[in-house]
Amino acid sequence: MPASYWKLSSFYFFYFASIGAFMPYWGLYLKNEGFTPGQIGELMAIILATKIVAPNVWGWIADRTGQRMQVIRLAALMALIIFSGLLFFSGYWWIAAIMAGFSFFWNAALPQFEATTMNHLGARTDAYSRIRLWGSVGFIISVACLGIIFERIDVSWLPWMVLVLLSLLWISTLRVSDAPRTPTPSNGHSLWMTVRQPAVLLLLLSCFFMQASHGPYYAFFTLFLEENGYSRTVAGYLWAMAVVAEVLVFLLMHRLLPRFGAWPLLIFAMAITALRWLLLAFQVELFGLLVMTQLMHAASYGVYHAAAISLIHQFFTGTQQGRGQALYSSMSFGLGGALGALASGYIWSGIGPMWVYVMASGLAMLAVFAAVSGMRAQFRFRSLPSARP
């Protein structure tokens, strides 16, 4: 473990604690403000859509200047300042503008911190999951506590709670310093030459479909549970249970990745995700199966993300690291997540909540097909000087 283990871990803790406060309950907050499912889907899509542009802009700046932590600190501070605008006004267009500005900076921080973490780890990249698991711990504490709290107080207090966590996130960035870049040399190719390799394109496409399938989960899962008679406390526990399973997987990924390889683990995670959404669509009233779908989050996020990050780190080397992480974030969590959330709102209003998760299952299966094709195509990438097995 690097000497900066706890400093790196604290960033992940507060970043994902803020997500645990924001994402699961933002739909409830918007519903409480009087917005329709279609409008909720649109506002969620704005948050995710900024990941298409923001990480790439900030990734380019960080790679060019070499001041990655300065970029992260600025992003965290601006996200805090802009989000505070929710305390003063409401209304669809005001909230849309706040979400666009806030998420432009908020979404910039994590991809660059992923690159910083990898640089601190050096050759010990398999230790990433033991640092990242603290993000899962932060999410669990946040989402479980707020589920109980919002049974007792109005959800309109949500912006204040998120602001406290964003303040702590910014403070945590002040304790982390830039690390030397990993000794892996640049591949001598442009970013576009790396991206256009079939294995890389198919990896990004599979990640796009995977995160599009998660759009309904992040935007509407809590509302879906309420529609089916579950309380907010139960919803909070179910969110937390999913991330507990994710933490357990992160503890094992440093062993699983060398043993099974990133591509097979990625494909396995995507197949489990397709089954997860299908069960959620048709068996949500069976609490035992609902619990099982949440435990599947171990694969849907834990195995998937660790495997995807490992592959991105293999393909994008040297001065391409920041932009590689940003491209992964923008294509998957950004474009994929935004389109998934947007489609979910319209399908929810049009043909019903169940079909939102049927759509999600189909998207996850498309991710499986793309990932299998990417694994088969990787031998072409190995002909490049930068490729690593």
Eight-class DSSP state of 196: T
Res. 100 pLDDT band, cuts 50 70 90: very high
Q: What percent of the chain has pLDDT over 70?
A: 91
pLDDT of residue 387: 42
Is pLDDT at 192 greater than 80 in this prediction? no
Is pLDDT at 206 greater than 90 in this prediction? yes
∠ Cα 166 303 348 (to 5°):
70
Is pLDDT at 64 greater than 70 in this prediction? yes
Q: What does each C-alpha distance from 23 to 173, 208, 229, 282, 386 come to in angstroms?
A: 22, 19, 20, 24, 38
Eight-class DSSP state of 125: G
- Note the CATH architecture for domain 5-381: Up-down Bundle (1.20)
The DSSP-derived string for 120-188 is HHTT-GGGHHHHHHHHHHHHHHHHHHHHHHTTTS-GGGHHHHHHHHHHHHHHHHTT----PPPSPPP-S
Q: Compute the residue count for the chain.
A: 389
Q: What is the CA radius of gyration of the chain?
A: 20
What's the average model confidence in pLDDT over 56-79? 86
In degrees rounded to 5, what are phi and psi of residue 66? 75, 5
The whole model's pTM is what?
0.75
- Who wins on pLDDT, 353 or 368? 368
Give the type of residue at 220.
F
pLDDT of residue 124: 66
From CA 134, how far away is CA 47, in angstroms rounded? 23
Q: What is the mean pLDDT of the chain?
A: 85
pLDDT of residue 334: 80
